Amino acid sequence: MSTPHVAPVRPTALVTGASSGIGLAVARLLVAHGHRVVGTSRDPDRIADADRVAGVEYRALDLDDLAGVTALGADLARDGVEVDVLVNNAGESQCGALEELPLPEVERLFRVNVLGPVHLTQLLVPGMRARGRGRVVMVGSMLASFPLAYRSSYVASKAAIKGFAEAARFELAPHGVWLTTVEPGSVATGISGRRTIHSPDGSPYAAGLRQMLGRLDAAERDGVSAERVARTVLRAVQADAPVPTYAVGSGAPAVFALRRALPAAVVERVVARRFGLGPRGVRA
Ligand SMILES: NC(=O)c1ccc[n+]([C@@H]2O[C@H](COP(=O)([O-])OP(=O)(O)OC[C@H]3O[C@@H](n4cnc5c(N)ncnc54)[C@H](OP(=O)(O)O)[C@@H]3O)[C@@H](O)[C@H]2O)c1
């Protein structure tokens, strides 16, 4: 007879991108709820004192470097850190017209937003499975459900990470390991100032991109707090059987209900109008 698994008294969580915004709020909340938290940053030495959470153990991780992801997995194993909860939060916000996105930049975005998190998940899931319990939360984006012009690479990266999580759920659920995606709408984290924007001189898309960015930045400034998103992540972590997707901010869950009720072509136009765009281009 197999021994029933006993949940650890103090579960260990790994939160990527714990140096700012949503990741910082998640790390803080998980510490407050009794987790041992390992938080990552590309350069933990550069995290400002005000953004350091007491109790969080910081480790270096650049998701653009897949060998570095492998090395982090090996370091955690060597140090006997058994991760029960993985929050794949770190990510980059890229903008630009599809035609003008440099392919190496799209590749880099997919390493940071998709392949790095997928690889980290592959490294940590075997331990969770062996222990009979685990949670993996992908921090996606509502834009994966409501695609937006000039954000094609970012939308595709967030749809991809959600796809990995949704498809693999019933591979892992029988082993007590649940994957889920938290899709935030606009969140006031200052991410607007850290976006990568690709807009070459003389671009025929410049006006539309500018219009979209103005609305996007305003929505982020007026967005929900990172703490609110962190509470949603905690709900997903604490659920016995997390649902496939948790949405938070930008009018969720009402806008998801409308999305189910309305024809796709109507939803597409509503989203475009919200950002001052439409099928004929920029709207006044
Ligand atoms: N803010 C929003 O409106 C919003 C909406 C929907 C979804 N999201 C998603 O939520 C997540 C967090 O966003 P946020 O708003 O909190 O952004 P943020 O404040 O800019 O935080 C991003 C975090 O990711 C880390 N990071 C960036 N590039 C990295 C890389 N190459 N390798 C490893 N870590 C990297 C950063 O850490 P270091 O710089 O210290 O390395 C930072 O901690 C992202 O996945 C984002 O796409 C945000």
CATH code, domain carrying 26: 3.40.50.720
Whether the predicted pLDDT of 2 surpasses 70: no
What Cα–Cα distance (Å) separates residue 134 from each residue in 14, 113, 114? 12, 21, 20
Give the helix/strand (H/E) hosting 66. helix 66-78
- From 38, 157, 189, give the residue whose CB has the most ligand 1 atoms within 8 Å, as the site to mutate: 189
The verdict on the CB of residue 250 being under 6 Å from ligand 1 is no
Q: How many domains does the chain have?
A: 1
What ligand 1 atom has the least distance to the C-alpha of 17? 43
- The model's pLDDT over 213-270, given as tens digits with 9 standing for 90+, comes to 999 999 999 999 999 999 999 999 999 999 999 999 999 999 999 999 999 999 999 9
Residue 190 lies in a domain: yes
Would 213 be classed as within a structural domain? no
Report the pLDDT averaged over residues 5-27: 92
Q: Is residue 237 part of a domain?
A: yes
Residue 37 belongs to what domain range? 12-205+222-261
Mean of the per-residue pLDDT values of the chain: 96
pLDDT at 7 over 80: no
181 vs 234: CA distance, rounded Å: 12
Q: Taking each helix axis as running N to C, give the angle between helix 152-172 and helix 103-110, from 0 to 180 degrees, rounded to the nearest 10.
A: 30
Confirm whether 274 is domain-assigned: no
272 in any annotated domain? no
Residue 266 Cα to ligand 1 midpoint, Å, equals 31
223 within ligand 1 shell (Cβ under 6 A): yes
